[in-house]
Structure 1
């Protein structure tokens, strides 16, 4: 019987960029700190980085747009 498993990048065309890794790590730290709402998550990212697209501060709109772009 074959064992099923998930490959690390099975849904991606390439490994994550440094920016994507930093953003993911920061989001994981926010969740670990009990932050689960968008407003507080955006504030957390603005305090600890990484910066939003084009080096701009995060807003709810830029966060949602970036998540949509990265998930495409």
Structure 2
């Protein structure tokens, strides 16, 4: 029986896009590799992808802006 109080997607209003899935997977892989700081995360995303929207390199600033945009779009 599923715990009626646990719904891991309770705040989600739609299914994630392919890009969002790829980005989430890349962030999870970085954390699993022991990367827990923003500069390290940005460097890892630039090495392994996915690319930043617009095809530019990830920076701390555009990463933070993209995560804020995605959070507002949920």
Taking structure 2 as the reference length, the TM-score comes to 0.87
User: 1:45-67 CA deviation, whole Å, 9 max, x = no partner?
Assistant: 00000000111110000000001
The runs of 4+ residues in structure 1 deviating greater than 3 Å are none
The change in CA–CA distance for 1:30 and 1:7 in structure 2 (over 3 A counts) is closer
Taking structure 1 as the reference length, the TM-score comes to 0.89
- Unpaired runs of at least 5, structure 2: none
Residue of structure 1 in register with 2:63 after alignment: 63
For the aligned residue pairs, the C-alpha RMSD in angstroms reads 1.4
User: 1:6-50 CA deviation, whole Å, 9 max, x = no partner?
Assistant: 153x21221000000000000000000000000010000000000
- Unpaired runs of at least 5, structure 1: none
- Structure 1 CA distance, aligned partners of 2:42 and 2:8? 30
How many pairs align? 70
- Structure 2 CA distance, aligned partners of 1:30 and 1:49? 11
Q: Does the Cα contact within 8 Å between 1:53 and 1:62 map onto a contact in 2?
A: no
Q: Tell me: higher relative CO, structure 1 or 2? Use CA pairs within 8 A at least 6 residues apart.
A: 2
